[in-house]
Structure 1
Amino acid sequence: MTGLTQAIGAYAASAPQAPPDDLLPLLRGAFIDTLGTMVAGREEPAVTLLRAQLAERGSTAAEASVLLGAERAHAADAALVNGTAAHALDYDDVALGGHPSTVLVPAILAEAERIGASGARAMAAYLVGYEVWAELIAREPDPLHEKGWHPTAVFGTVGAAAALAALHGLDASRAAQAVALAGSLAGGLVANFGSMTKPLHAGRAAASAVEAVRLAARGFTASSDAMEHHAGFLAALSPKGRVDRDAPARLGEALRIRETGLNVKRYPMCYATHRTIDGVLELVARHDLRAADVAAVEAHIGVTQASMLRNHAPRTGLEAKFSLEFAVASAVMARRVGLAELTDGFVTQPEVRALFPKLRITTRDTRCPLEPAFAETDRVLLHTTRGDVLDSGEIRFPRGAAQNPLEETELHAKFADCTRGWNGGGALLDQLARLETLPAIATLGGGRV
């Protein structure tokens, strides 16, 4: 029986050069949402500091554009900056226990630009990366977050390497080597959530995938069973050692992206907050509540969700992204949780901070079969100063989830909000809306390369 590492290599090597027609809207959406959040995050401190670091060490390569501008860099460095920017606001899409597009899209765009690949080939490569990521996470019954691993950083590195192996047309042997090599370049800790290092996880995963594939293409070797070995990738990550290292790969059968899709964020917050935000916003709007009307809020969420939301009294917009206290306070105070609220100034307002102690978090042990890091449902109970208890009911899928999707107009509106003040947003959206017909990825953003 072919081992998992070799099966992934064979899958990447045999992938079609264009995606199925029925998946084009979903894949376009992934690129639209990722480039929108990338532009929105371009001036975040994590991105500014990273670019300064790269400029200090210098680079003679000019292979791919950085943040869709005139600046060019080595493809790995472009993927590093672009992936970090796309994840800097925590506004990018979610699936498979992490953030697939914020790793896959920057890695693919950087290398597609370098080798002159088309939009259709880039979309097909994305599909390979998603499916490999899905194959790996399906083998693990326990959430990696509970052991401290960030799935975006670890599964993303390997998935992106498979995507780039397909993009480059590597043969099965070298594609497997690239995947095995990527396994040793993967890493990222949940303890760094709420800091600049979390978005760096995404950028580093994209950059590491570029390096792994280019090394493998040169003949750099790695173990042929690095994924499934008893001391390999899956076993090393597994929280309780229950990972399935032996089952035959399902790659090439029914596409898992049709089952799980992508969840597009309505709020620039950790996805673990979104169902609670939906519940609070709905109750506040329906009963026309003000902050003074709220005596207490009970949020019933999953154990792993609660562990991710570690900042109970945030002082900055970055910390607030991982604070359910802030999420509830913003939903009550501003009746929205958007980019305008995720600022240090708003977070530190006394009226906002006064709401933090009113939240009580209760955990539940159920697991969502689609997102095992989450409870099957969340629930909000809002206690008013009048003595009423308002109940959101069980919330299964937040707005923007694959099962409760945004309309295309809503996705485009989010893109417009993300690119506001950036010259070229409308033209870029037009290109992305017909990405499969684009003859060369290098022309994205008006060809400002």
Structure 2
Amino acid sequence: MAGLTAQIAEFVAGPAPALSPEVLRTVRTGFVDTVGVMLAGAGEPVTGVVRGFVQAARSPLHDASVLLGAERASARDAALVNATAAHALDYDDVGLMGHPSVVLVPALLAEGERLHAGGLALMQAYVKGYEVWGELIARDQDRHHGKGWHPTAVFGVVAVAAAVAALRGLPAAQAQHAIGIAGSLASGLIANFGTMTKPFHAGQAAAHGIDAVNLAQAGMTAAPDAIEHHAGFLAALSPAGRVDRSPCERPLRELSRVATLGLTVKKYPMCFATHRVIDGVLDLAREHALDPQRVREVRAAIGVTQDSMLRNHDPRTGLEAKFSLEFAVAAGLAVRKVGLAELQDAFVRRADVQALMRKVRITTVDTVCPHEPTLSLSDRVVVEMDDGRVFDSGDIEETRGGLARPLLPGELESKFMDCTAASGVDGATLYGRLQRLETLDDVARLAAASAH
């Protein structure tokens, strides 16, 4: 039987998958949401830094649009900027213990524009990248975040290489080299959460995935067992070495994790580890008309891995606040919303918000959510008032925006229009084209629809 790396390559080089209506909806949502948050993040400082870095490199290639605008760059450089921008606000979708769309969509849009590929081809390539990521991350019993690896940055590189190799139609031998090369380009540390480097992880993964394919097509080789070798990708990343490196028992084409696991669309531009607590705080505040000035203490119980990611306990900037449960609770109580307007430095430093943050007490539980192992089985928030009243959210197991509690009709469009409102693009036209992505014969039309 062929080894795992070879099996992945055969899947990547194999026939394009047939996409059910359910899978089409999921993938379309990934493209819509990512383009929206990408445009919202275009003006963030980290996007400017990476954009300047790309401009200084002066690549002679002009294959793809940067941020869907008039500026052009090589496909890998456009993917680098666009994926960084899409992750800059931490508002992009979630799945597979990371952020699949934030690396796959910018890479595929840039490559698709260079190749003048149709929308359906991009969606099929997205599915291949998603399935490869899902297969690899499911093989470990332990949580990569706990060891310090950011799954978006490490599994995302291999997923992008698989998706781009599929889009280009690489034969299995070249795809196998691309996968192996991508494994050596994987990196990204949890320690950098709450800094500009965290969104750069996404940009780097998108760009390095394309690099891996470019290098394979140029003749670079990699180990034929780079993924499953005892000193290979899976073993090196594994927190405790309890990782399955054996060949797949069933062909990857028979597995449809896109349909069963899907994507969670974020309602808040915060680290996903905060979302269930935010849901609980907002529900309690609205249901009981809680006066934030009369809150004595808030007790929040979250998972161990969540706590390790939410490292900023005294944030002073919007960037730091994205990884602070204290801020998430304080914002929810202070203004009963946690949106883009609240993730501004001035709001974070408001006296009432800072005072509420100091009232938050965090405890951890060492349980694991079966479909999102970075989370505990459930979160919980208890608000105690100065008159002795206590309000308890109870166990919160599902996140709004996920498969069990999907966005309400119109919420995705509302989020997209909010994200693109200040970008200068025609949001309605762009949204319409993205919602018909599988019918586009050339995805370069997306850039034309958003010319600004």
Same fold at TM > 0.5 = yes
Structure 2 CA distance for partners of 1:5 and 1:417, relative to 1, 3 Å: same
Give, in angstroms, the shift of residue 53 of structure 1: 1.5
Q: Encode CA deviations 1:172-226: one digit per residue, 9 max, x unaligned.
A: 1111111111001110000000000000000000000111111112221111000
Q: Which amino acid aligns with 2:186?
A: A
Contact map agreement 2:331 2:353 (CA 8 A) in 1 = yes
Q: Which amino acid aligns with 1:25?
A: R
Contact map agreement 1:397 1:404 (CA 8 A) in 2 = yes
Q: Secondary structure at the match of 2:374?
A: coil
1: distance between equivalents of 2:174 and 2:124? 19
Name 1:280's counterpart in structure 2.
281
Name 1:165's counterpart in structure 2.
165
Contact map agreement 1:377 1:396 (CA 8 A) in 2 = yes
Give, in angstroms, the shift of residue 408 of structure 1: 4.0
TM-score, structure 1 normalization? 0.98
Contact map agreement 2:26 2:258 (CA 8 A) in 1 = no
Q: Encode CA deviations 1:114-164: one digit per residue, 9 max, x unaligned.
A: 111100000000000100000001001111011100000000000111011
Q: Encode CA deviations 1:347-377: one digit per residue, 9 max, x unaligned.
A: 0111100111111111001101111111011
Q: Secondary structure at the match of 1:83?
A: helix
1: distance between equivalents of 2:249 and 2:151? 19
Contact map agreement 2:22 2:259 (CA 8 A) in 1 = no
Aligned: 1:38 with 2:48:
no
Give, in angstroms, the shift of residue 17 of structure 1: 6.2
Aligned: 1:337 with 2:338:
yes
Q: Which amino acid aligns with 2:403?
A: A
Give, in angstroms, the shift of residue 406 of structure 1: 0.5
Contact map agreement 1:47 1:84 (CA 8 A) in 2 = yes
Contact map agreement 1:302 1:375 (CA 8 A) in 2 = yes
Contact map agreement 1:87 1:102 (CA 8 A) in 2 = yes
Q: Which amino acid aligns with 1:220?
A: M
Name 2:428's counterpart in structure 1.
426
2: distance between equivalents of 1:134 and 1:430? 29
2: distance between equivalents of 1:408 and 1:63? 36
Name 1:266's counterpart in structure 2.
267
Name 2:5's counterpart in structure 1.
5
Name 2:208's counterpart in structure 1.
208
2: distance between equivalents of 1:217 and 1:312? 47
Return 5+ residue gaps in structure 2 as ranges. none
Q: Following superposition of structure 1 onto structure 2, how do residues 351-366 of structure 1 map, counting pairs within 5 Å?
A: 351-366=352-367
Give, in angstroms, the shift of residue 331 of structure 1: 0.1
Q: Secondary structure at the match of 2:361?
A: strand
1: distance between equivalents of 2:15 and 2:307? 39
The farther-off stretch of 238-247 and 62-71 is 238-247
Contact map agreement 2:2 2:247 (CA 8 A) in 1 = no
2: distance between equivalents of 1:308 and 1:12? 33
2: distance between equivalents of 1:188 and 1:292? 40
1: distance between equivalents of 2:291 and 2:15? 54
Return 5+ residue gaps in structure 1 as ranges. none
Name 1:442's counterpart in structure 2.
444
2: distance between equivalents of 1:313 and 1:365? 24
Structure 2 CA distance for partners of 1:17 and 1:374, relative to 1, 3 Å: closer
Name 2:311's counterpart in structure 1.
310
Q: Following superposition of structure 1 onto structure 2, how do residues 35-184 of structure 1 map, counting pairs within 5 Å?
A: 35-184=35-184
The farther-off stretch of 438-447 and 115-124 is 438-447
Give, in angstroms, the shift of residue 19 of structure 1: 2.7
2: distance between equivalents of 1:244 and 1:17? 26
Q: Which amino acid aligns with 2:325?
A: L
Q: Encode CA deviations 1:27-50: one digit per residue, 9 max, x unaligned.
A: 111000000000000000000111
Give, in angstroms, the shift of residue 247 of structure 1: 4.4
TM-score, structure 2 normalization? 0.98
Q: Encode CA deviations 1:252-304: one digit per residue, 9 max, x unaligned.
A: 11301111110000000000000000000000101101211211111111000
Contact map agreement 2:311 2:323 (CA 8 A) in 1 = yes
List, as ranges, runs of 4+ consecutive aligned residues in structure 1 with deviation greater than 4 Å: none
Number of equivalent positions? 449
Give, in angstroms, the shift of residue 85 of structure 1: 0.2
Name 1:196's counterpart in structure 2.
196
Identity in percent: 57
Q: Encode CA deviations 1:404-445: one digit per residue, 9 max, x unaligned.
A: 110341000000000012222111101001000000011103
